[in-house]
Structure 1
Amino acid sequence: MQSELMNAYYRDTWVEINLTAIERNVRSLYELYKDKGTEVMAVVKADGYGHGAYEAAQASLVGGATFLGVAILDEAIELRRKGITEPILVLGRTRPTDAALAASMKIAVTVFSLTWLKEAETVLKSNEPLSVHLKCDTGMGRLGLIDQAEIETVSLFIHQSEHFDFEGLYTHFATADEIEIEYYDEQFQQFKELSKILEDHGISVPYVHCANSAAALRFPERAFSMVRFGISMYGLSPSPEIKELLPFKLEPAFALKTTLAQVKKLPEGKAISYGATYVTKQDEWIGTLPIGYADGWIRSHSTNGGTVLIDGEEAPFVGRICMDQCMIRLSAQKHEGTVVTLIGVDQSSSITMDDVAKRLETINYEIPCVISKRVPRLYYRDGILASVKNPIQ
């Protein structure tokens, strides 16, 4: 079995995904909320933040999640076609012309427009009801209704229509991952007020949700009937600032590795890579790695002091990162084929997703999302290789 899985990809650069870590992260949140009766939505949009949507969804369901969240209808359809039967919500906009398709596949969609609902009704006339979650904009400035009168009108329309199942009401926080919570408080209080509109009209929905990973971890007393667990189900803190405030330790699930494709000793004065931006200062051992910006390992890694780990030691990038390859400076001669860690643990050393994000002056969310699909994903459960995903094979 192991040899068959290893033959499912043919390059020496790969991602390792720890499914057990995802299960444990979700289980820890589930345990935090189980006595409150609050359900957990596992957010697996963007191919599970680069981890693999289907695999992450399965792991999260084992961990206690009961609902899945995606960004677009295509992502929900992919999960259905792969056999996922649990409830799914599309968090982004779905075309009203696709309402019947969503309903037929029992996929809930986000709504925030009376016009959209009326257009969707025209294609739902002879179909089963479409489950919808009404989105309120309490300060994010993206999708959602702001005006209370409009929220009341749309809520009543959904409630009174035979073509819709009013399944949820929700909003999204803009600053729950920051130390200062004044703006978060304002959003939360506004959402509480908006939710009373439904209560005042006797409308009850199964799912009221506002907490993203940061809010769910920091403010469990402020959860409603469901919380949305996104970045932190993959073992990453929503921000470095609140890492020490989290109620339990998160287990990172993502590691990126490659190998030394070639090792050679270059004399002083030799230029390396495009533009000849790096010139050896003395005799130097240079290792070539089979990973580049086409894999999502962008050129900035070599201009911002980026390093990798090899045999537990740091090795810096030298010269510009190419489309498919890059170079590092070695402390000594190494064997070709030696494993190199770009993200993850190597002996007693590690390079975390936060380390890489800081290097690139971005957030940890972005890093796994941009590692391209041509990098195969190897899925491990309890330390044993369970499956391999290689979309370009």
Structure 2
Amino acid sequence: MIPSVHRPTRAIINLQAIADNVRTIQQHIPRDTKTYAVVKADAYGHGAVKTAHFISRSVDAFAVSNLDEALELRQSGISNDILILGPIAPEDVDLAKESALTVTVSSQNWLELARSQGVDMQGLTVHVKVDSGMGRIGVRSAEEANTLLAELQKSGSRVEGIFTHFATADEADDSKLQQQLAFFKNLLERLDNRPNLIHASNSAASLWHGETIFNAVRLGIAIYGLNPSGTALPLPYPLKPALSLESALIQVKKVEKGADIGYGASYTASAEQYIGTVPIGYADGWTRDLQGFSLLVDGLECEIVGRISMDQLTIRLSEPYPLGTKVTLIGSDGDKEISATDVAHKRDTISYEILCLLSSRIPRLYLGL
């Protein structure tokens, strides 16, 4: 989808805020801990290439979801280590080696499939994934881990790391996390040949559970300035939100009492009022269930009235503002602020989803370049 640069809707990314957040977190974890910056899903909607280049000297490595995301970084000139967190297809191993990428191997079945296809594993850098209770991918016992590690080393692979992922690190109740941590530690103790890099801490675990930090961390949502828990846990120290979302009024009209607004006539004016139209809709990731949420105009909260359309939404204004007046969807205006977490609460979801749903139709404007 082509960015719509000729309309006023845009996401503004403060790259310096991301770099500052990285440094802030690093100041609160052990000094020699290797930092993986997680830039999967286009850096949670912030732009993976621009983000990675800006913070490449502040972090040791990057983590992405899949091979294509890793190749995008390499092709843009990123030279840091890049860990692919999900399994790749065995037939793509040569491509990963050519691009000096680190891959995750999560099962003996994957290795057997690679062998059956005649895949040359010699020289491939690997991290082994442990399923300590997340239930997605990974080996589930020390016996499985030992077998897989031995077979990978026999194949000529460079087994650099082993890791796991916590399911509830962002929740107030840490009983599940402690169970997973105990499982992972027990598995590590029973390994015949422990890899050099060991990592379990995502953003939430790095912020609130220092006991989970081994010698590497994977920092995701926190480096973009958002609380991984939403509001369940207070941040232990301040972080700076890096993304704001702005648009502008493209039409303002006075409607009479009883006028219907939007598809389905789901809003009817209870009195004469001003309605402003804003060029953003569900094709941009601003979903229909945000009807009733308020945006900021001139420092005032203005409710979204009528159903959100594919390309536009309508808000109730306090006065007939001129065309081009700024509308803030995420960010600050005057003494009021809308956070991605606020939007998430309205939609009964998490801030990660809000950011990742902001489509490529919205141009990203970068501060700090």
- For normalisation by structure 2, the TM-score amounts to 0.95
After TM superposition, give the deviation of residue 114 of structure 1 in Å: 1.9
Match of 2:301 in 1: 314
Query: Which of 173, 177, 195 pairs up with 1:205?
Result: 195
Q: How many angstroms apart in 1 are the aligned matches of 2:79 and 2:95?
A: 15
After TM superposition, give the deviation of residue 270 of structure 1 in Å: 1.1
Query: Which of 18, 24, 39 pairs up with 1:22?
Result: 18
After TM superposition, give the deviation of residue 71 of structure 1 in Å: 0.6
Q: Does 1:235 align with 2:225?
A: yes
After TM superposition, give the deviation of residue 34 of structure 1 in Å: 4.9
One-letter amino acid matched to 1:193: N
SS in 2 for 1:103: helix
Q: How many angstroms apart in 1 are the aligned matches of 2:11 and 2:366?
A: 9
Q: Does 1:295 align with 2:284?
A: yes
After TM superposition, give the deviation of residue 116 of structure 1 in Å: 1.8
SS in 2 for 1:340: strand
Instruction: Report matched runs for 1:1-393 at 5 Å.
Output: 9-35=5-31, 37-62=32-57, 64-121=58-115, 123-125=118-120, 129-162=123-156, 164-198=157-191, 201=192, 203-244=193-234, 246-302=235-291, 305-381=292-368, 386=369
Q: How many angstroms apart in 2 are the aligned matches of 1:60 and 1:197?
A: 37
One-letter amino acid matched to 2:64: V
SS in 2 for 1:33: coil
1:328-374 deviations in Å (ceiling 9; x for gaps):
00011101000000010011111111110000010111001001001
Moved more, 203-212 or 291-300: 203-212
After TM superposition, give the deviation of residue 204 of structure 1 in Å: 4.1
After TM superposition, give the deviation of residue 147 of structure 1 in Å: 2.6
SS in 2 for 1:210: strand
After TM superposition, give the deviation of residue 11 of structure 1 in Å: 1.3
Match of 1:391 in 2: none
1:76-104 deviations in Å (ceiling 9; x for gaps):
01111111111011111210111111011
Task: State the aligned residue count.
Answer: 366
Q: Percent of aligned pairs with the same residue?
A: 44
Structure 1, unaligned runs of 5 or more = 1-6, 387-393
One-letter amino acid matched to 1:227: V
After TM superposition, give the deviation of residue 123 of structure 1 in Å: 4.8
Q: How many angstroms apart in 2 are the aligned matches of 1:123 and 1:160?
A: 15
Q: How many angstroms apart in 2 are the aligned matches of 1:266 and 1:196?
A: 71
Per the alignment, do residues 177 and 348 of structure 1 end up closer, same or farther by CA in structure 2, a change over 3 Å counting?
A: same
After TM superposition, give the deviation of residue 222 of structure 1 in Å: 3.1
After TM superposition, give the deviation of residue 60 of structure 1 in Å: 3.1
One-letter amino acid matched to 1:9: V
Q: How many angstroms apart in 2 are the aligned matches of 1:249 and 1:49?
A: 20
SS in 2 for 1:149: helix
Q: Is the 8 A contact 1:33 1:39 kept in 2?
A: no
SS in 2 for 1:100: helix
1:300-344 deviations in Å (ceiling 9; x for gaps):
111xx3010000000001111111011000011101000000010
Q: How many angstroms apart in 2 are the aligned matches of 1:165 and 1:242?
A: 40
Please tell me the root mean square deviation across aligned C-alpha atoms, in Å. Answer: 1.6
Q: Is the 8 A contact 2:170 2:233 kept in 1?
A: no
Q: Is the 8 A contact 1:234 1:251 kept in 2?
A: yes
Q: How many angstroms apart in 2 are the aligned matches of 1:85 and 1:98?
A: 20
Q: Is the 8 A contact 1:178 1:241 kept in 2?
A: no
After TM superposition, give the deviation of residue 30 of structure 1 in Å: 1.8
